Structure 1
Amino acid sequence: MNSNASVQTGALAPPASRKKLGLTALLAVAIGLVVSQGVMVLMLQGVGIAGLGFIVPLGLAYLLALSYACSFSELALMIPRAGSLSSYTEVAIGQFPAILATFSGYVVVAMFALSAELLLMEFIIDKVYPHAMPPLTVALGVLALFTVLNLFNIDIFARLQTVLAVVMTVVLLVMGLSAMNSDIVAPNPALFDSAHWNPLGLGVIALTAMAVWGFVGAEFVCPLVEETRRPERNIPGSMMLGLTIIFVIISLYGLGALLTVPQAELASNGLPHYLFATTVFGEAGKVFLVTAAITATCSTLNSSLAAIPRMLLGMARNGQAFGVFKRQGKRTGAPWVAVLFIAAVTGLPLLLMHDHADAINQLLLSAALAWLLAYIITHINVIALRRRYPQVARPFRTPFYPLPQLFGIAGMLFAIWNVSPSPDMTFSIFAYAGLVLLIVSIIAVLWIKGVMGKPLFKPEPLESVLGTQHDKNPQGDSQ
């Protein structure tokens, strides 16, 4: 194929002096970016719809997540100097899928999921302190605050990432275990009846897309590969261990809710985590949940405003995005144009959808659809690179290849097709995600053909990415 000796021996050579991150730090990133208010809401609505039967789509979603963890691990360790999905994809299947995958998996997800997180925080605060402030004051205020902090390159959560991940994990665990040990536990006998534990039958599998949202985002550890000690162990280990911990905690969290809150109310309530917390903890649950909501939303928002603009910066340096995204502050080095762009696309759905009752679910499931598309492209990348570069050193090789990739592609396509738990929402979810992805696709085609002057689906040489990734305009354009 197209491999050579230099590529085979140089696939894993990050600078030794920068290897600072161990398994614990990476585990905090993997868990901290997955656990969010959106997870707290969708998982409870899922158990409300399916009862104990939700364990079936939850288990399938967990297996799908392990499959993407395998694919990202193999790609990140094979191309350790590549900071984002675009770099893997341009080598595997070409420029158009590279741009589409990155925008689908990160920019479009930010547009939908961050908006949903901010709306959830707004709704929770308004529930606890009704009419204390005009609508969207908190959501837009927090968005503005973290936009400014990132414009000045100030990361107030950098030293707290591990603590925040532990806090959010403990919140879910405490809610689940406290519910099971509560005096108000009054289990419905039919809940554990072998004939009624799964009222949806095989139809419960259609909730896999909802369950998948509990496991997306663990791959954010991959851009840290150059700063990781023993990356061949800690990159895959942190993702797989983190996803396993999340599976156990979500299972306990959902079970606790089923034991204390009427199932129909979990399914129909727009803020089921508020209902759960107040049922178990009473008035104290309000403060408990407001604290968790603010912590989760601020951490997720800050991480996204720090990471995604730098992905756009890297793409701009490689000629894959508008050159204006290369602009950085003279003193701070922050990619200020990209930060403002991500803040703007996050704020737009807030302004357009805050009055819609189903806005949260529509935004989260639209984000899930876009993220699943990016994961499908990731699996295809692994298959394509195995065929094109069979002899290249791979410090991590997917067990039982290509079964995890084929399972991941098929399962994620099925989840996309059944992304909506309600027929009433199907059109809007596909319309929102489809329209944005269509616009991205049209711009990508025009950019690749008209500006880059390259074929849409011709892969770049692996040698060029490994050899020159950091040499392309390392200083960027200052402004």
Structure 2
Amino acid sequence: MSERVVGPQDSGLEKTLGTWSIFVAGVGLVVAASTLVSDFVGYFTIGLAFLVALVIGFLINLFLGLSCAELSTTYPKAGALYEYGARAVPWRGASVVAGLFLAFAFYGMFGIVGALEIAAGSFGLQALFGATGALAPWIIAMTVLATLPNLVHVRTMAIIEAVVLVGMLAIRWFFGVAGWAGFSNTGAWSAGNWVGEIGVFEWSAVAGALALAYWSFVGIEFVAPLAEETRNPRRNLPAGIVLGLLAILATSAFMGTGVGGTRPLAEWEESAMGPAGCDGSCPQLVVGEAMFGGWGHGLMALATAAATYTSMVIVLAAMPRILYGIARDGNFFGARLSRVFAYLHPRFRTPWVAVFVTAVAYSVVAIFFNDVVTLIYAGSYAWVIIYILWHLLVVVSRFTDPDVARPFRLPLAVPIIGALGTVFALYFAFQGAHSTYGLPALAIFAGAMVAALVSYALARARQPVRASDEQGDVTKR
């Protein structure tokens, strides 16, 4: 592989995160504002069949989380997919290009996902203040607020994230309790309210809802770029990932079934998918208004804004570290840009340049594209494909890098079953719509490959600048 340019800042990331910090990072990203949308749209349109889809989505993401745990503990570096791809492909030039392609594909895919998440949260922030008009100022405000914690120590970021996450989860569980206990304006919970034309185990409905159910869990792998800053990653990463997924499943199931059982399903669907629910982009605001009137609307708006905030804080922690990992190796579009993006703030040891660039890029996309439901499907398609690649990286690396220490080693059947299950989900979730959502995904991957080749060419064109690390060595890949 190409030479790795190691500078005095190479070991500058702080190793301070434990199990609960990883739990907070995973749950904070996954339990996003867009999952309020996907959960309520799923429950209100197909009823309890969505719960079946949700369990399938959980299992698929559990396998992904385990593969993520093996890769991130084997190669505990900030570059994440960049590092894994580079290690899995044994040939010098191809290894760099493979790593760059995976990293840029993941980063580019989140251009869609980040846009929908910021947009979903901005709808909530706008509603919280009772404002109308353009969404752009609220998108900018949300991005700025999420950027600030990422400019200080990573431990400080995790504490801020944890505080907001607890409040946001408490609101979700409050609505679930209110539904089950029957003390809201929508009345007592009744199993009869869940009766509809779609059966609980009707496969066509379950398959059609897999994309939405899958979306309720995606993002748990965002803990991987934080592996370099995690204490005892062998224990803390797997534990944080599994606990996070279980918490997400419990929250979605309890809230959704509790709320949905307080009114006939058809009534929920009509109101949530109508103008009051932003045509499906903000059904949670309808829930808040129906259950508790104005203050319930405000509380759900607060939960929406808080969910986006926790998600974007983690996004602006993880994604810049991928760019930082590439730049630290001197492979980010040449030596000059690599030096810029490998910069760490001298006091806080955080990649400021990469954070600022990522914040601007994702907010700009959100300003121009903010149809939340459409973006969920488009982003989900690309994300599922990337999940297949995570599993394949585990399998391939077992053969191409057999001697590396694997502190957390899975039975090989786990990534294989995970990859097959994810392919299964991709096929059925988008049956009849592969061309609609597959083409944007292909565009992202094609753009990532072009970027990888250009970046590699520019990196090779430079004269390597050798700098000593703490031991005075130049590490080779």
| TM-score, structure 2 normalization | 0.80
For residue 99 of structure 2, give the secondary structure of its aligned residue in structure 1: helix
Q: How does 1:49-68 map to 2 (within 5 A)?
A: 49-68=45-64
Correspondence for 1:438 among 407, 431, 446:
446
Are 1:117 and 2:117 an aligned pair? yes
For residue 395 of structure 1, give the secondary structure of its aligned residue in structure 2: coil
Q: Is the 8 A contact 1:313 1:338 kept in 2?
A: yes
Give 1:394's aligned residue.
Answer: 406
Are 1:40 and 2:39 an aligned pair? no
Give 2:327's aligned residue.
Answer: 316
Percentage of matched positions with identical amino acids: 26
Give 1:12's aligned residue.
Answer: none
Q: Is the 8 A contact 1:380 1:405 kept in 2?
A: yes
Give 1:245's aligned residue.
Answer: 247
Counterparts of 2:166 and 2:178 in 1: how far apart (Å)? 17
Counterparts of 1:232 and 1:163 in 2: how far apart (Å)? 26
Q: How does 1:54-133 map to 2 (within 5 A)?
A: 54-81=50-77, 83-93=79-89, 94-105=95-106, 107-127=107-127, 129-132=129-132
Give 2:380's aligned residue.
Answer: 368
- C-alpha displacement of 1:104: 2.6
- C-alpha displacement of 1:101: 2.1
1:334–1:81: structure 2 CA closer, same or farther, 3 Å change rule? Answer: closer
- C-alpha displacement of 1:111: 1.3
Q: Is the 8 A contact 1:172 1:253 kept in 2?
A: yes
1:151–1:227: structure 2 CA closer, same or farther, 3 Å change rule? Answer: closer
Q: Is the 8 A contact 1:77 1:232 kept in 2?
A: yes
1:58–1:421: structure 2 CA closer, same or farther, 3 Å change rule? Answer: farther
- C-alpha displacement of 1:164: 2.3
Counterparts of 2:321 and 2:339 in 1: how far apart (Å)? 9
Give 1:380's aligned residue.
Answer: 392
Correspondence for 2:366 among 347, 350, 375:
350
- Listed one character per residue, the Cα deviations across residues 305-325 of structure 1 (whole Å, up to 9, x for unaligned) are 233222202102224322425
Counterparts of 1:471 and 1:208 in 2: how far apart (Å)? 49
- C-alpha displacement of 1:256: 1.6
- Listed one character per residue, the Cα deviations across residues 325-368 of structure 1 (whole Å, up to 9, x for unaligned) are 531377666545433432333133323224xxxx1012222222
- Listed one character per residue, the Cα deviations across residues 265-309 of structure 1 (whole Å, up to 9, x for unaligned) are 446233111112222222221221222222222232233223322
Counterparts of 1:293 and 1:237 in 2: how far apart (Å)? 27
- Listed one character per residue, the Cα deviations across residues 372-430 of structure 1 (whole Å, up to 9, x for unaligned) are 222211111111122234454322121xx33321222122223334555985xx65533
- Which letter maps to 2:80? S
Q: How does 1:161-200 map to 2 (within 5 A)?
A: 161-183=161-183, 184-185=187-188, 187=190, 189=192, 191=194, 197-198=199-200, 200=202
For residue 260 of structure 1, give the secondary structure of its aligned residue in structure 2: coil
- Which letter maps to 1:46? G
Counterparts of 2:160 and 2:352 in 1: how far apart (Å)? 24
Are 1:306 and 2:308 an aligned pair? no
Counterparts of 2:217 and 2:473 in 1: how far apart (Å)? 35
Correspondence for 1:286 among 297, 300, 305:
297
Give 2:277's aligned residue.
Answer: none
1:224–1:287: structure 2 CA closer, same or farther, 3 Å change rule? Answer: same
- C-alpha displacement of 1:64: 1.0
Give 1:464's aligned residue.
Answer: none
Are 1:339 and 2:350 an aligned pair? no
Give 2:7's aligned residue.
Answer: none
Q: Is the 8 A contact 1:97 1:377 kept in 2?
A: no
1:112–1:419: structure 2 CA closer, same or farther, 3 Å change rule? Answer: farther
Counterparts of 2:133 and 2:368 in 1: how far apart (Å)? 19
Q: Is the 8 A contact 1:305 1:343 kept in 2?
A: yes
- C-alpha displacement of 1:469: 13
Give 1:458's aligned residue.
Answer: none
- C-alpha displacement of 1:204: 1.3
Counterparts of 1:329 and 1:237 in 2: how far apart (Å)? 29
Q: Is the 8 A contact 1:179 1:185 kept in 2?
A: yes
For residue 396 of structure 2, give the secondary structure of its aligned residue in structure 1: helix
Q: How does 1:325-336 map to 2 (within 5 A)?
A: 325-327=338-340, 328=343, 335-336=351-352
- Which letter maps to 1:410? L
1:470–1:27: structure 2 CA closer, same or farther, 3 Å change rule? Answer: farther
Q: Is the 8 A contact 2:65 2:221 kept in 1?
A: yes
- C-alpha displacement of 1:66: 1.1
- Which letter maps to 2:62? L
- Range with greater deviation from structure 2 (326-335 or 45-54): 326-335
Counterparts of 1:231 and 1:147 in 2: how far apart (Å)? 26
Counterparts of 1:330 and 1:121 in 2: how far apart (Å)? 29
Q: Is the 8 A contact 1:317 1:472 kept in 2?
A: no
- Which letter maps to 2:123? F
Give 1:218's aligned residue.
Answer: 220
Are 1:28 and 2:24 an aligned pair? yes
Q: Is the 8 A contact 2:79 2:326 kept in 1?
A: no
Counterparts of 2:17 and 2:330 in 1: how far apart (Å)? 30
Q: Is the 8 A contact 2:77 2:83 kept in 1?
A: no
Give 1:407's aligned residue.
Answer: 417
- Listed one character per residue, the Cα deviations across residues 178-222 of structure 1 (whole Å, up to 9, x for unaligned) are 1111241353637369x9542743441232222111112222333
- Which letter maps to 1:362? T
1:247–1:216: structure 2 CA closer, same or farther, 3 Å change rule? Answer: same
Give 2:3's aligned residue.
Answer: none
For residue 188 of structure 2, give the secondary structure of its aligned residue in structure 1: coil
Q: Is the 8 A contact 2:32 2:307 kept in 1?
A: yes
Counterparts of 1:443 and 1:385 in 2: how far apart (Å)? 24
- C-alpha displacement of 1:52: 0.6
For residue 363 of structure 1, give the secondary structure of its aligned residue in structure 2: helix
Alignment RMSD (CA, Å): 3.4
Counterparts of 1:117 and 1:470 in 2: how far apart (Å)? 44
- Which letter maps to 2:200? N
- Range with greater deviation from structure 2 (164-173 or 225-234): 225-234
Counterparts of 1:163 and 1:295 in 2: how far apart (Å)? 10
Q: How many residues align?
A: 435
Correspondence for 2:261 among 240, 259, 284:
259
Give 1:8's aligned residue.
Answer: none
Counterparts of 1:97 and 1:275 in 2: how far apart (Å)? 45
